[in-house]
Amino acid sequence: MKIAMRSLLGASCALPLFMFTGGGIAAAQEATEAEATDETTIVVTARRRAESLQDTPVAVTVMTGEALERQQIISTTDLDQAAPNLQFAAYGTLTGNNSAAQVFIRGIGQTDATPAVDPGVGVYIDDVYMGRAVGAAMEFRDVDSVQVLRGPQGTLFGRNTIGGAVLITTNAPGEGAGNSIRVGLGEDNLREAYGAFELPIGETLAARVALGLRQRDGYVTRAFDGLDLGDENMYTGQLAVRWTPSDSFEITMRADYTEEDENGSPFVFRSINETAAFPMIQSAAAGCPGSTFPPPVPVPMIDDPRCANDFQALGPFTNGGTAPAFSTLETSGVSLVAEWELNDVLTLKSITSDRHLEWSGARDADNTPLTILHTRYQSRSDQFSQELQALIETDRLSGVVGYYFFDETSFDRLIVPLGGPGTSYDTQRVNLDAEAWAAFTNWTLDLTDALSVSAGVRYTEETKGLQATMFNVAGANTPEPPAPTALCATAAPTAGCLFILTNRFEREFSSTIGSASAQYRFNPGFMAYLSWSQGFKSGGFNQRYNARPQASGEPISFNDETAETYELGFKSNPAPGVRLNGAIFSTEYDDIQLTYRLGVVPLLFNAGVATIEGAEFELAVAPTPDFLLDASLSYLDAGFDSINNPAPIGGVTPTSIATLNSELPFAPEWQAHIGLSYTFHPRSGLLLTPRLDLSYTDSQFFDAGNSASIAQNDAVTVLNGSLALEPEDSRWRIMLSGNNLTDELYPVAGTSSETTATGYAEIIYARPRSFWATLSYRF
């Protein structure tokens, strides 16, 4: 690991020279022609104030709305095609919901989308934090820019940005975005339509409205009933109103609504453990020849639908399940941002937001005709946040002082039909709440015209609460079994009785974290920086059934996890039309919220320490107005240093699914992207632009236990392409696009429970090659 880091350090120092002595392209950054030519046009807000990308001592990838369209990045889950060391996968495991996101930056994130577990990468829309992983896998609509901030962002963005942050900014009224309409048709009955319109109301009041829909058939078919899984059926709308009564004061109100009603995640059968209890029980009950229980006999390896064995596999795009499958989402929000420039030095800013989220998801986890494990989720969350900032700007000193408040309540309902004797149902109804406040400050001092230093600190207090009702009953495969009336006599959930956590259990957390950096501009085209930053991800309670209480009667809880990163980077413009940025880093990742098994139930414990080291380089080249090349390269070395075993709970010892030899999930060693476009002039006034994007992702695991059956065991190279025709003023555009042009077969997510009583493994493969066409018109 240290040898690799020394090699990367040398490479980062030599790369600018190597690039222009015939060595070739080692790394890169997406950009439009204007961005690559003039870095001042790329504005980032990584330090909560607008500044040039090339002056910011943070590893940031920036994509404008125009760049997103050119690269066919239509949703957040496509971002990892262009941003180094980012993995943004949909179809969160366990939930069956298509909008659940698994987001990892530099090997840090979270795979569990339940409300009791917070994300490891913060997703923000127009300065508002999105508190849940469900809903983070979203389509881009009327977007001005997307920023991917890598490394802990705890000082300025707070809790749950331990891996980094994704900042999405939509177009504001009166900022020149104009009016636009886009319609599209494609394979799998793809139909989409979007429109964004400016509504000037008066000299001081302007509004902007955006509406859209997207529909597409799924690409996995259930053999049982022909249901297509992985489909898209989404409607969205947003409204922004800006009031500017003076040059120094403005208020922007935004409201948004999104609705999705789909058939469920495109999981398919991957494998099953024929010696696991539930497969043996259900095979015997179904009449599988040679299968008995009791006595337990491994399921025979014969091709019979009554037998839970690997003959149940139907291929990468056929699902063998029979249980209900669906995915729904309804999310809405209102925000109010007020800015008051008191004078040339001080600006006050207020960000107020209220958001509502409802979602559901159902899946047949074993993906067979048998009832081994099914899940049905229903969840609701309401969040309110308020942030106050005082922004100071002088000739030599700039900074921000802020206060943040967050309040969230969630209700989570889960039914799990299990393939035990007679089929049983684990059911939970959980009320969760979280309240947090933080005070923070960050300052930058220009010691000279070339040398600047920055430092910041943030203090956070957070309270989380849980109250729950849980029961397990036997019964037929009905939509929902009746709740028992008798209370459990034991201090843990027990079959056939009602277990109620009558008290509201509560835990308090607090954290003080900091950041510091120094940057030096050697010349107008080269800046280097050294930074130190910390971040944390909130602790909480395990909410799943069978999460046995501790001796005190309190549910099992887990603490914050933390990360501390040292980073050495540079921002450069070594030649006209060229931008080259890079960084190397080392992160100590402590108190990792690691998944253990208590029986068949996955629970989180603070049990791991890891070291993560790596490097990233980004390049944009636009030597002429017609030629554009953008690329990136990243390296990651992520492994556990130690894993601690929790104490037994209720006489049962939790079992880690990870070992010291395990790799962190969603942490491929190498990742690269290169995009190339050239604009031809077939006739006066017309532009024809072909573009190719090639992305490479090294092998990676999707769980901490490194289950080989659901891993991306081989490196994957994916080719996308487009051909655009438009006039010189870009008033209209016709674009033909294709994804996965070489029709690669590769997994993007999976769940494995092969070592437990359920014994199943399920996997999701990427959508096969697809083509579509869009027509857009601007006015």
- The 10s digit of each residue's pLDDT in 145-196 is 999 999 999 999 999 999 999 999 999 999 989 999 999 999 999 999 999 9
Rounded distance between C-alpha atoms, residue 376 and residue 451, angstroms: 57
List, as one string, the DSSP characters of 234-290: EEEEEEEEEEEEETTEEEEEEEEEEEEEE-----EEEEE-TTSHHHHHHHHHHT-TT
The number of beta carbons lying within 10 Å of the beta carbon of residue 311 is: 17
Q: Given this model, what pLDDT does residue 486 score? A: 63
Q: Given this model, what pLDDT does residue 27 score? A: 31
Q: Given this model, what pLDDT does residue 294 score? A: 87
Give Cα 512 distance to the centre of its chain.
25
Mean pLDDT on 334-361: 97
Q: Which of 378, 374, 376 is nearest to 360 (CA)?
A: 378
- pLDDT bracket for residue 415 (50, 70, 90): confident
Out of 15-24, 416-425, 473-482, 738-747, least confident range:
15-24
Q: What's the pLDDT tens digit per position in 529-559?
A: 999 999 999 999 988 755 555 556 678 889 9
- Residue 134 tokens, joined: 């469900």
Rounded distance between C-alpha atoms, residue 79 and residue 87, angstroms: 8
Which SS3 state, helix, strand or coil, does residue 322 take?
Answer: coil
Q: Which of 276-280, 463-467, 668-672 has the highest mean pLDDT?
A: 668-672
Greater confidence, 478 or 261?
A: 261
* The pLDDT of residue 269 is above 90: yes
* The pLDDT of residue 136 is above 60: yes
| Bridge-based pairing state of the strands 51-52 and 59-64 | unpaired
Greater confidence, 480 or 233?
A: 233
Mean pLDDT on 315-340: 96
Mean pLDDT on 240-252: 97
pLDDT averaged over the chain? 88
Q: Given this model, what pLDDT does residue 598 score? A: 75
Indicate the domain borders of the chain. Answer: 2-274+309-425+432-479+487-502+509-778
State phi, psi for 149 to the nearest 5 degrees: -100, 120
Q: Given this model, what pLDDT does residue 369 score? A: 95
Mean pLDDT on 476-498: 57
| Fold designation for 2-274+309-425+432-479+487-502+509-778 | Maltoporin; Chain A (2.40.170)
The whole-model pTM stands at 0.90
Q: Given this model, what pLDDT does residue 2 score? A: 43
Q: What's the pLDDT tens digit per position in 26-74?
A: 233 333 344 444 444 688 999 998 899 999 999 999 999 999 988 989 9
* The pLDDT of residue 323 is above 50: yes
- pLDDT bracket for residue 426 (50, 70, 90): low
Rounded distance between C-alpha atoms, residue 519 and residue 451, angstroms: 6
State phi, psi for 79 to the nearest 5 degrees: -65, -30
* The pLDDT of residue 601 is above 50: yes
Mean pLDDT on 497-508: 74
Rounded distance between C-alpha atoms, residue 1 and residue 601, angstroms: 34
Which SS3 state, helix, strand or coil, does residue 217 take?
Answer: coil
Residues 6+ apart with CB under 8 A from 245: 204
Percent of the chain with pLDDT over 70: 88
- Please, what sign has the CA dihedral across residues 704, 706, 710, 714? positive
* The pLDDT of residue 654 is above 90: no
Rounded distance between C-alpha atoms, residue 402 and residue 620, angstroms: 35
Q: Given this model, what pLDDT does residue 29 score? A: 33
- Residue 657 tokens, joined: 């699914």
In DSSP terms, 734 is beta-bridged to 725, 775
| Residues present in the chain in total | 779
